[in-house]
Amino acid sequence: MTDAAVLLIDCPDRKGLVARVSGLLYAWGANILHADQHQDHELGLFFMRVEWSLGGASSEVSDGGQSRGQESGGGGAPRGKSGGAEKAFDLEGFKPAFATMAAELGMRWQLTSSARRIRVALFCSHYLHCVADLLERWHSGELRCEIPLLISNHRNVESLAAFYGIPFAYVPVVVGSREVAEQRQLELLAQHGIELVVLARYMQILSADFVARYPAAIINVHHSFLPAFTGARPYHAAHARGVKLIGATSHYVTEALDDGPIIEQDVARISHRDQVEDLVARGRDLERMVLSRAVRWRLDQRILCYGNKTVVFD
């Protein structure tokens, strides 16, 4: 896969934002691969994702020896063809040029490169279907990240971690000593340089202090179509209510339990003939799908949070 840069932007909406961003990228010789934008008209907000190749530039050269980006003023030293040879995009040089424009337009922005893989820690408890699915997707190359750590309060996942060559840490959570367990977990996360935490059916509630250490960087899967049927036994509650649809939800973790910004959801139709065991079995398939999608989209830098909502770019 070609290495690419991804720029995520959110800011107050105004005319000409797409032209300003694309114009600057053109001036620097960017070969844009994907671009998408969204406006929240009610709040007056603008969101944008741009992805471009880092492998080379393709700006045309004018008769005067200047690229078209130079002719139009694009702001910064453009990259392009020189004597017929393509040059790699100068990402480090582009950053300060874009920062100047971003400050002028009140933009919040993130600029990342696919050449650098995010370091992810997986947390799980005694249910292993989600963590097994993520590890296999990572092993096959579907999830482009590093997984240097798997943490659990149960030992039954240890052999699975060993099979995939992932360092495993057993951190038991004893009633009344959650703070001790979380301190050990945070130490391990720091030691391994973890940037994203994925709760693959980790059945412990994280404290507000823990969540504050990783803002918008903890993804959870909830075995219910939130906001309905929160808590630890949603399939039992759904069965008791006689619902005709069950679902699963992946979301960012916040201080409020099961109330963080939703990333992905999916549902399956059921009937009065289905028992709790049937709901659980079908729900596990949904959990695997919505969690893997959320993780992949986060690794691909496709998610922007605002308020308690997300924009998930195609």
Tell me, what's the pLDDT at 232? 65
Q: Which two tokens stand for residue 82?
A: 């020189």
Nearest alpha-carbon partner for 285 in 136, 123, 129: 129
Nearest alpha-carbon partner for 274 in 223, 216, 235, 232: 235
Cβ–Cβ contacts within 10 Å for residue 104, how many? 9
All structural domains of the chain with their residue ranges: 4-113, 119-312
Catalytic annotation, pick one of 258, 259, 274, 285: 258
Selected from 1.10.150.120, 3.30.70.260, 1.10.600.10, 3.50.50.100, the CATH number assigned to the domain covering 4-113 reads 3.30.70.260
Hey, which residues does 7 pair with through a beta bridge?
A: 50, 111
Cβ–Cβ contacts within 10 Å for residue 84, how many? 6
3-state DSSP assignment of residue 171: coil
The whole-model pTM stands at 0.85
Tell me, what's the pLDDT at 226? 57
3-state DSSP assignment of residue 97: helix
3-state DSSP assignment of residue 61: strand
Q: Give the CATH fold of the 119-312 domain.
A: Rossmann fold (3.40.50)
Distance of alpha carbon 192 from alpha carbon 149, whole angstroms: 7
Per-residue buried b or exposed e for 137-146, using 16+ beta carbons within 10 Å of the residue's own CB: ebeeeebebb
Mean pLDDT, contiguous 10-residue spans, the chain (314 residues) = 90 96 96 95 96 66 32 45 62 96 97 95 97 98 97 97 98 91 98 98 95 96 70 70 82 90 92 83 93 98 94 95
Catalytic-residue membership of 258: yes
Q: Which two tokens stand for residue 121?
A: 């820690």
Tell me, what's the pLDDT at 192? 98
Tell me, what's the pLDDT at 281? 86
